[in-house]
Amino acid sequence: MEKFVIEGNTRLCGEVEISGAKNAAVAILPATLLIDGITTLENVPNISDVKIICEILCSLGAKVTWTDIHTVVVDSTNLTCTHAPLEMTSKFRASYYLLGALLGRCKDVEVGLPGGCNLGARPIDQHIKGFEALGAEVEYGQGKINAKADELIGNSIYFDVVSVGATINLILASVLAKGTTVLDNVAKEPHIVDVANFLTTVGADIRGAGTDVIKINGVEKLTGNHTYSIVPDQIETGTFMLAALASKGDILIKNCIYEHMDCLSAKILEMGGKIENFGDSIRVYSDSKIHPTNIKTLPYPGFPTDLQPQIGVALSIADGTSIINESIWDSRFQYTNELNKMGAKITSQGKTAIFEGVEKLTGAPLYASDLRAGAALLIAGIIADGKSEIYNIHYIDRGYENIEEKLRKLGAKIERINEE
Ligand code: EPZ
């Protein structure tokens, strides 16, 4: 079992390079299954979730080759199987994208019920409602989902909740459907736009990604021999912005998109941090007390739930009381118990947590409960007095590439230790 050991009390200073977006990559790799040919993907994050998807693509008959550490070539010309291995697909959430992609290409699919981070109830009723509206028959139970159709026919689908996964899955299922599909009340995250841009590059006809309504005119086939570069990771960018603020450091964050960070930038300025925009890089620095503020997580362009634990660390040492209202996931305050072990004063009930700022956090043994909670605990360990040990770091490896190396370059004293 691996753990991180951190000697704290560090101001993070220097430069960091952001990787390609995890939540775009885990959708675009399954999307290559729709293509009758070879696709080259660049700026692919080298993280464990991506490696599992590549293995799954191989098990379906695709040929996957890493030509360098961030470039993957997928040849989906001859798919040999539409049933993805259950034990692999149920390991992570994004395996649900195999549903939309294989249904779209082969009109038949079976995957394990999606697993992933433990954030409370994670229904997929909107995905299923959408597939059925296109004419598919969907059955689920005993740990798996099957969907099949004679043909998929475009339809109008209104989503009851704004869902990243359902929006992307219905784009995947409808690009090769007959006729026009209109998706209403969709998610607008940067990775939605990236998936649509990718599919448009390979021949799909998708309009409106990034707005509330997406229209897809089905096409006969998607073609190979294209190269596409995955968008920089909005959440990794935000994690380093908040690490700079919380550690009263000075970080130049390179290879990122400033416009994706508007909501977080506004909060960081309100909390006393300073920001400079250089187009494809952002400098965040701070040398003063953190001001308290209130946060409500919302779908994009609102405050991302995936940055809620990281901003929670900064608020735990703010000069006053702050409130966070988590409106997306039922169970995303588990990290506050770990911060309280470090001397924080946070009370959480249901989807609300109250942060009474304390002067300092103190190092402790800490357990990550999910990916972003893990990122928050890394920041907490770095700013705390003394030594912290972080366990369950496989969660962190799912979504952050080479995180300890990036943090070490910024001055963090962090080691990955393999413990029997
Ligand atoms: C995506 O999850 C991300 N995962 C999550 O990131 C992220 O927290 C989430 O979007 C919200 O931004 C991936 O992209 C792989 P949703 P997803 O469908 O698609 C409800 C991370 O740390 N809902 O947008 O599963 C649902 O319960 C991960 O990188 C339904 O009710 O999220 C939730 O309250 C964790 N029915 C809300 O919608 C459905 O059919 C948003 O969920 C689908 C969702």
Q: What is the DSSP string of 201-216?
A: HTT-EEE-BTBSEEEE
Choose which residue among 52, 53, 96, 122 to substitute to test ligand 1 binding: the one with the highest number of ligand atoms within 8 A of its C-beta.
122
**Residue 117 catalytic?**
yes
> Does residue 165 line the site of ligand 1, with CB under 6 A?
yes
Question: pLDDT tens digits for 159-172?
Answer: 999 999 999 999 99
CA of 286 to the centre of ligand 1 (A): 32
Give the three-state DSSP class for 322: strand
If one counts every other C-beta atom within 10 angstroms of the C-beta of residue 366, the result is: 27
Q: Could you say which DSSP state residue 153 is in?
A: B
Q: Which pLDDT value is given to residue 116?
A: 53
Q: Which pLDDT value is given to residue 112?
A: 86
Q: Inform me whether the pLDDT recorded for 382 exceeds 90.
A: yes
Q: How many CA atoms lie within 13 A of 406 on its CB side?
A: 23
CA of 282 to the centre of ligand 1 (A): 27
If pLDDT is split at 50, 70 and 90, which confidence band does 117 have?
low
> Does residue 122 line the site of ligand 1, with CB under 6 A?
yes
Q: Which pLDDT value is given to residue 142?
A: 83
Q: Whose CA is nearest to atom 27 of ligand 1?
A: 122
Atom of ligand 1 nearest to the CA of 371: 22
Atom of ligand 1 nearest to the CA of 399: 29
Q: What are phi and psi of 376, to 5 degrees?
A: -65, -40
- Are both 2-19+232-418 and 22-229 of the same fold? yes
> Does residue 166 line the site of ligand 1, with CB under 6 A?
yes
The residue count of the chain comes to 420
Q: In the chain, what percentage of residues exceed pLDDT 90?
A: 91
Q: Which pLDDT value is given to residue 101?
A: 97
Q: Inform me whether the pLDDT recorded for 33 exceeds 70.
A: yes
- Which CATH superfamily hosts domain 22-229? Enolpyruvate transferase domain (3.65.10.10)
Q: Which of 13, 58, 106, 117 is catalytic?
A: 117
> Does residue 328 line the site of ligand 1, with CB under 6 A?
yes
Choose which residue among 22, 23, 311 to substitute to test ligand 1 binding: the one with the highest number of ligand atoms within 8 A of its C-beta.
23
Q: In the chain, what percentage of residues exceed pLDDT 70?
A: 98
> Does residue 127 line the site of ligand 1, with CB under 6 A?
yes
Q: Return the closest-CA partner of residue 299 out of 123, 167, 126, 142.
A: 167
Tell me the C-alpha distance between 24 and 260, whole Å: 14
Tell me the C-alpha distance between 124 and 120, whole Å: 13
Q: Say if CB 48 and CB 374 are below 8 A apart.
A: no
Q: Say if CB 336 and CB 312 are below 8 A apart.
A: yes
Q: Between 32 and 124, where is the model more confident?
A: 32
pTM above threshold 0.85: yes
Q: Inform me whether the pLDDT recorded for 257 exceeds 90.
A: yes
Residues 6+ apart with CB under 8 A from 415: 4, 5, 6, 404
If pLDDT is split at 50, 70 and 90, which confidence band does 413 have?
very high
Tell me the C-alpha distance between 9 and 11, whole Å: 7
Q: Could you say which DSSP state residue 90 is in?
A: T
Q: What are phi and psi of 66, to 5 degrees?
A: -90, 115
Tell me the C-alpha distance between 377 and 412, whole Å: 13
- Which CATH superfamily hosts domain 2-19+232-418? Enolpyruvate transferase domain (3.65.10.10)
Q: Which pLDDT value is given to residue 420?
A: 72
Q: Which pLDDT value is given to residue 118?
A: 59
Q: Whose CA is nearest to atom 34 of ligand 1?
A: 328
Q: Say if CB 76 and CB 35 are below 8 A apart.
A: yes
> Does residue 163 line the site of ligand 1, with CB under 6 A?
yes
CA angle 60, 66, 69 (to 5 degrees): 140
Question: pLDDT tens digits for 73-103?
Answer: 999 999 999 998 888 887 777 889 999 999 9
Question: pLDDT tens digits for 289-334?
Answer: 999 999 999 999 999 999 999 999 999 999 999 999 999 999 899 9
Q: How high is the mean pLDDT of the chain? A: 95
5: phi > 0 → left, psi -120 to 50 → alpha, else beta; which? beta
CA angle 78, 88, 236 (to 5 degrees): 100
Q: What are phi and psi of 264, to 5 degrees?
A: -70, -40
Q: Inform me whether the pLDDT recorded for 122 exceeds 80.
A: no
Tell me the C-alpha distance between 169 and 131, whole Å: 9
Q: Inform me whether the pLDDT recorded for 2 exceeds 80.
A: yes
Tell me the C-alpha distance between 54 and 75, whole Å: 11
Tell me the C-alpha distance between 133 and 248, whole Å: 51
Mean pLDDT of 199-216: 98
Mean pLDDT of 393-407: 97
If pLDDT is split at 50, 70 and 90, which confidence band does 115 have?
low
Instruction: Give, in order, the Cα–Cα distances in Å from 216 to each of 103, 182, 284.
Output: 16, 6, 39
Question: Which of 44-48, 51-55, 76-80, 91-95 bottoms out in mean pLDDT, i.e. has the lowest?
Answer: 91-95
Q: Which pLDDT value is given to residue 419?
A: 81
Q: Inform me whether the pLDDT recorded for 34 exceeds 70.
A: yes
CA of 329 to the centre of ligand 1 (A): 8
Q: Inform me whether the pLDDT recorded for 239 exceeds 60.
A: yes
Q: Inform me whether the pLDDT recorded for 279 exceeds 60.
A: yes
Domain residues of the chain, as ranges? Answer: 2-19+232-418, 22-229
Q: Inform me whether the pLDDT recorded for 128 exceeds 70.
A: yes
Tell me, what amino acid is at 132? E
Mean pLDDT of 251-264: 97
Instruction: Give, in order, the Cα–Cα distances in Å from 350 to each of 13, 52, 295, 332, 368.
Output: 36, 33, 15, 9, 19
Mean pLDDT of 50-78: 97
The pairing of strands 281-285 and 274-277 is antiparallel
Choose which residue among 172, 328, 372 to substitute to test ligand 1 binding: the one with the highest number of ligand atoms within 8 A of its C-beta.
328
Tell me the C-alpha distance between 392 and 375, whole Å: 11
Q: Return the closest-CA partner of residue 368 out of 401, 397, 326, 346.
A: 397
